[in-house]
Chains A and B, each alone.
Chain A
């Protein structure tokens, strides 16, 4: 096809590259669902990866969750005080943390920490031919490296999100307790009073989707790393940026779908 201008050529080439990338990512994701039900399951590696992802993210998740709980409570109090509605504070915090902040904060932290780690690890294995070495030893690298890591993030991130919500609520309780005498049981009861089963279900579903996204994006970027050490850095960076972008889109879509269910 002849191009009239250089701009047309660049645009066409850019679009071509973009759609090729989308197609390749789609195929990569589709392969996961094909391979995940096939033997061997590499359960030991899934457990190892879950342990690595979960345990190593725990300090950061704890600290962030705790601070989010305190800061959110501190900043909400003055507005509620204006309306004489400070007694609603636990419910407000409960809704905000369980429905939105817990899963989202955990996903963003894990996208940065776990996603970049997976991207860099697999990227480095790719450029040093370790993935090829697996393939020539009749070991399926997709099954051993990708499926195990994606399963690990999909299982671990919902657990971390629930833990993050719990810690954030505890931080909020400490702040409430510092201002007024309140028991922890009363605070938690009040916080969960307005939260339905659908809210918890939506929150866990969101975390599962976020976990899958972080795993699949990290492994995809790592598995397709090129151009030596520079490519490894780029894979890690792109894994974080793309995962975060997709997490925000998924957040909006899942909340919208959950709201439709609420009307039925």
Chain B
């Protein structure tokens, strides 16, 4: 796996969250989350299943609405945006789903061309084809143009899912469990891809995971989410060097030491 070489611009915050609360009925998922992401930085959000990690990034992209608190993405309050303004902001954010969420009635080429056809009306067919080939090449699947999602392996689906977000050249990447359900070798390939994306497209990323290997090798900072709040935020060594019982408990259940 490659080492991280990203340049972090600490003077520029791309995501700023303060006092974020979110409940589903009686279930309080997020209970006052504070979080900043700087331009060029990768942050991994770690935590057990059901602690609200995915809810957090769904609020960032406007798929869910917050109950309380403030969420500012690229200088705009996401929950105050509607229609075209929200769409314009979303085009600057890439979201890679845990399940890849490829359109199963379309082949790989159509999956990648679809966001361009719908959002970049001035692009010609030749320009779209070129963009699709370029992004497929960047995720190492140049020859998979005509395949249907059902014919791809789990790792390939993840790559195509990432490619579909990259085609719109986002400034922020949100990865939801990028290595879940993959074998260690394919996981390592996806980790390399996340780092390559960061270098090539100069993105800032939030990586939701419970895989410590992924977090250690992709993130500049780790944020440990427990019971709806961040227990600890810092570098990998800072977080897992802490005496906190919950953090140590999470660390000990993983293979990495």
Contact = CB atoms under 8 A, between A and B. Distances in A.
Contacts of A138: 86-88, 90-91, 115, 118-119
Interface in A131-154: 132-133, 135-139, 144
A129 B101 contact: yes
B1 interface: no
B101 A130 contact: yes
Nearest to A143: B118
Contact of B101 (A40, A132, A144): A132
Nearest to A121: B105
Contact of B99 (A128, A135, A144): A128
Given A138-B87, A138-B91, A133 B63 contact: no
Contacts of A124: 104
A137 B101 contact: no
Interface string B86-105: 11101101010111011111
B119 A139 contact: yes
Contact of B90 (A125, A130, A136): A136
B118 A139 contact: yes
B118 A128 contact: no
A136 B119 contact: no
A128 to B, nearest CB: 6
B168 interface: yes
B222 interface: no
A249 B90 CA distance: 43
Contacts of B104: 124, 128, 130
Interface of A: 40, 121, 124-125, 128-130, 132-133, 135-139, 144
18 contacts: A40-B118, A121-B105, A124-B104, A129-B98, A129-B99, A130-B102, A132-B58, A132-B63, A133-B103, A135-B63, A136-B61, A136-B90, A137-B118, A138-B88, A138-B115, A138-B118, A139-B119, A144-B118
